[in-house]
Chains A and B, each alone.
Chain A
Amino acid sequence: MSGWVLAGMRRNPGPVIGTVVAAATAATLTVAAVSVGTSHSPAPLGRLTGADVVVAGDTLLHVTVGRGAGADPESAPLPAYRGVPAGLARELARVPGAAKTTRETGFPGGTARPGTVDLIAVTADPGVSPGTLAHRIRDALPGGAGYTIATGAARGGLADPNLAIERANGQALGGAVIPFLLMAALFALAATTALSVNLRQRRFALLRAMGATRGQVRRAVLAEQAMLAVAGGLAGYLPGAALGAAGVRALVAHGMLPPGSTASPSPWLALFACAINLPVCVLSGLVAARRAARTSPAQVVREVNYERRRAHPVRVLLGLVAVASVVALNVISLHQSGPGVQAALALPLLLAGMAACALLSPVLVRAVAAAARPLRAAGPTARLALAAIRALPRRTASAVVPVAMAVGMIGAVAFSNTSIAHAADTQSARAVTAGAVLTSSRPAGSGLEPALLARAGSLPGVRAVAGVSSLQIAVTDPDLEYLGGAAISGGPLDRALNLGVESGHLNELRNGQIAVSAIEASSGVLGVHLGSRVTVYLPDGTPYTATVSAIYARSLALGDVLIPASVAAGHTGTPPGYGQILVDGAHPAQLAAVASAYPGVHVAGRQVYSAQVRQNNAQNGFGDLLILGVIAALAAVTMANTLAVATFERRRHVRLLAQVGATRRQLAGMFGWQALFVTVVGIAAGVAVCAGALAAINRAVTGSPVPYVPAGPAALIVATVAALATGTIMASLRAMSRSRA
């Protein structure tokens, strides 16, 4: 039977082109995401070029997460060197085969503690291979496990610990896109597959009348879907590889992947894309094939391809279950206060919303069409359009779903970003109460020397000074992860900063104390209260166990964890100093005079602080923008694809209307009304879907369910989707009338 399936596709590819396009799009994006995720980043050797073996402190942080039977060792790359004792160089020099040892310091992320160096470079005697020497060194080292010993290309990984983290972050971005892609691909493919099978109901009825069994029809559809999945998967490889390379270049340009990173998509990825497409195509094909196989053979002699007007009760039931799960997930996110839990709920929420929308769309279409009856007064074209919609709610619904999907997905990603950025803006604007901020134009995050803090603090009239430097702090909440936080000194802090302290005091932060944001402190995350003991890890892996002395609300201004600057000093991989110094009560001229003694330092108002926060967010924002772009592209392709197929399907209808004397203008008018209907209902459904997901995402980040939706981008999304939907429908109509002529 598969021979004819192929013959059918070759001779009349119309109904299956949509499926191939959808499958190829999904494959393109999958290949691109995986090639970003597996991108290769060469680490420049720098001054380690001449060294045969490099010895550093263990570059990984090892932590046991959980207790008892559930205990699980986890590790993460450290942003700073642990440092090795300077005296180790002499011991290494005594290892047989070692020619020369050099103590190396001053690397980015390097240690500043006295008596330690960042790493030790060893050259080998002639005739001794670096591998052999590395083995001997490992054997000679006391507790060899605590060190990272590198030869060859691995040496580069030791030249800058931040590169490893950058690479991990950039690659994680690729990983973050994959679930979105698969979800979108599933919906897109399911929509086009169902449509392409529905289009050929009469064909299947003929086969059934000729004596094809249900199984034969089902197998033919499945064979066809499998072939389309593979064809789409293969077709998507080259564009996917190109897109992946472009994505890597963009991430490098925005400092989210190390310079020189390249995507190296393996040809096996084509098979991988096929393997992902296959279950999606076959599963959605299976549903459509079941329907095709149930086609009554009598349908071949019926004049009209009529469809069941009332939605199937099982479909309605499943749709209501999906709606109920959207509600239930939102209720859960209300009571489960933890950003991890809530953020994890976002994707299931979006999925459940989409499923509800897809399942209930025929019901929705019927309801809206019934409500829109007064529009019939607008003329014969409106009357015809409404009649067509009411007669074929499922066909109309298959056009509404991709519009809703586009709006829902783009809206969810775009407005969770704007909400987070907006919350960060308002929080940081409120967080700084000091009248002036000292900043440095030097790029490093700690450009202000500690002495400056003391001098600013001793100016007459100064009520408070606070030195702030941001840093990465590892916590187990409950998994090992890095949080944005800050090291703080000076005082009284509550005069310079207003972080919305909920419990405890934040007028000073002493050695042995720690302040934690309310979101991070909540149960399910760190799960700490005022007075709890908690262990966090500094950038070089040093543990810091402290008592929680304050819990504050505004986590987006300085981060989720605050520790005393004296604790962080020497463990951050940067020279001692601050990123900003907040000064309250100083005379501007006197402060400016102090600043002028330090090159690159200047005085600014408190607004500059939120500007810097915004700049930091902009980098994260670019990653989100990239995801958004990919999703928007997928949604747009899917929508145009489905709408074109759905419009083309009405060829017979159009021909009939033209025969009974409908003018071209009237046909355009009728399709215009239908396009308007599809666009309005689709956008409304999409807004509902993304509202459900946004409420949970926003509550996770800001504590409030109301997202920040700027009017401009919202209008832009709606206008683009509306233009694309209407444009596709009208363009298909034009192409159709031209092919008829």
Chain B
Amino acid sequence: MTREQIEDAGRPDQAAPVQLAGVSKRFGRGRGRVTALDGVTLSFPAGSFTAVLGASGSGKSTLLQCAAGLERPSSGTVRLCGADLARLSDRQQARLRRQRIGFVFQELNLVPELTVGENIALPLRLGHRRVDRSGIERAAARVGLTPGQMRRLPSELSGGQQQRTAIARALAVRPEVIFADEPTGSLDPHTAQGVLRLLRRTADGTTVVIVTHDPQVVRFCDRAVFLGAGRVDSIVDAPEPGQVAARLHALGERANGRDA
């Protein structure tokens, strides 16, 4: 069942680790100015597993970047793990990212010159934390990577294995929030299902935000947030792929109609 509850979502949830209030993001200036996000107010409750869906150009990637502190919003406030990002220095933001946040991107997740093991340990090393080999191997084992694969370079792994490495790296710091931007975008459906199942299983208790355009992803999610033209269109609890596909189609039609 679809339940329109935009007003409801806008209500501040003080416990939620990710909160956006009136966040807008504009790129460029003059005639080339593009509004990617237009006054988005959203919160992602602790331990929730949310998919952010929308057509290309709906602003879903920008939403993730602003929420994660990779991009500064043009207006509005973002609270991440209880801190107002605008009040944090660049250095404090970097520290926040490496200690409490995990990232999984579509591709180019891994530093190609570092081995799988070194990639997993990267955020720990950046934080000058002690890296014990068994901890890394445990993190790798949870995503199904063997100790023998620790010394391989990313280019020697399959696409699915690379994404598993990225998940292991995100988990290694025991983050409060994991942001994933099209984590299965370059994988075949079967491998994609495996990676998502893994993420769902291992991220138990962690808040996960996945940006995607793939309706199949929502099978693992508690909630789906639909974006259209930089605004929150609707929020659906316990979403199902068929219903989500129809919704995405409708959103796409609307966007095309506006373009024409």
Query: Which A residues fall within an 8 A CB radius of B?
Result: 1, 4, 7-12, 202-203, 206-216, 296-298, 300-301
| Given A4-B118, A297-B70, A206 contacting B90 (CB threshold 8 A) | no
Interface centre among B101, B103, B118, B127 (most CB of A within 10 A): B103
Q: How many Å lie between the Cα of A724 and that of B169 in the bound state?
A: 46
Give the tally of cross-chain contacts (CB within 8 A). 80
Can you list 28 A-B pairs, Cβ within 8 angstroms, ordered by A? A1-B125, A4-B111, A4-B114, A7-B113, A7-B118, A8-B113, A8-B114, A9-B113, A206-B109, A207-B122, A209-B105, A210-B98, A210-B123, A211-B94, A211-B98, A212-B98, A212-B126, A213-B90, A215-B91, A296-B70, A296-B71, A297-B70, A297-B97, A298-B70, A300-B70, A300-B105, A301-B65, A301-B106
A299 to chain B: closest residue by CB: B70
Question: Taking the nearest CB of chain A, how far is it from the CB of B139, in angstroms?
Answer: 15
Contact B112 A12, beta carbon cutoff 8 Å: yes
Task: Report chain A residues within 8 Å CB of B71.
Answer: 296, 298
- B61 at the A interface (CB under 8 A): yes
Task: Report chain A residues within 8 Å CB of B106.
Answer: 301
Question: Taking the nearest CB of chain B, how far is it from the CB of A210, in angstroms?
Answer: 5
- Known contacts A207-B111, A212-B94; 5 additional CB pairs below 8 A are A11-B113, A11-B153, A209-B103, A210-B126, A211-B98
B91 to chain A: closest residue by CB: A213
Query: Which B residues fall within an 8 A CB radius of A?
Result: 61, 65, 70-71, 90-91, 94-99, 101, 103, 105-106, 108-109, 111-114, 118, 122-123, 125-127, 153, 169, 181
Interface centre among A207, A211, A214, A298 (most CB of B within 10 A): A211
Chain A contact residues, majority secondary structure: helix
Question: Taking the nearest CB of chain B, how far is it from the CB of A7, in angstroms?
Answer: 6
Question: Taking the nearest CB of chain B, how far is it from the CB of A213, in angstroms?
Answer: 4
Of all A-B residue pairs in the complex, the 6 with the closest CB atoms, nearest first, are A211-B98, A211-B97, A8-B113, A298-B70, A213-B94, A11-B113
Question: Taking the nearest CB of chain B, how far is it from the CB of A633, in angstroms?
Answer: 32
Contact A301 B105, beta carbon cutoff 8 Å: yes
Task: Report chain B residues within 8 Å CB of A9.
Answer: 113
Question: Taking the nearest CB of chain B, how far is it from the CB of A4, in angstroms?
Answer: 6
Q: How many Å lie between the Cα of A216 and that of B108 in the bound state?
A: 20
Contact A206 B108, beta carbon cutoff 8 Å: yes
Task: Report chain A residues within 8 Å CB of B99.
Answer: 211
Question: Taking the nearest CB of chain B, how far is it from the CB of A302, in angstroms?
Answer: 9
The 8 Å CB contact of B126, one of A8, A11, A211, is A211
| Given A12-B113, A206-B111, A301-B65, A211 contacting B123 (CB threshold 8 A) | yes
Q: How many Å lie between the Cα of A259 and that of B99 in the bound state?
A: 70
Contact B105 A211, beta carbon cutoff 8 Å: no
Question: Taking the nearest CB of chain A, how far is it from the CB of B126, in angstroms?
Answer: 5
Task: Report chain B residues within 8 Å CB of A215.
Answer: 91
| Given A202-B108, A211-B99, A301-B61, A216 contacting B126 (CB threshold 8 A) | yes
B119 to chain A: closest residue by CB: A210
Question: Taking the nearest CB of chain A, how far is it from the CB of B60, in angstroms?
Answer: 11
Task: Report chain A residues within 8 Å CB of B127.
Answer: 211
Task: Report chain A residues within 8 Å CB of B125.
Answer: 1, 4
Q: How many Å lie between the Cα of A12 and that of B154 in the bound state?
A: 13
Q: How many Å lie between the Cα of A211 and that of B99 in the bound state?
A: 8
Question: Taking the nearest CB of chain B, how far is it from the CB of A740, in angstroms?
Answer: 15
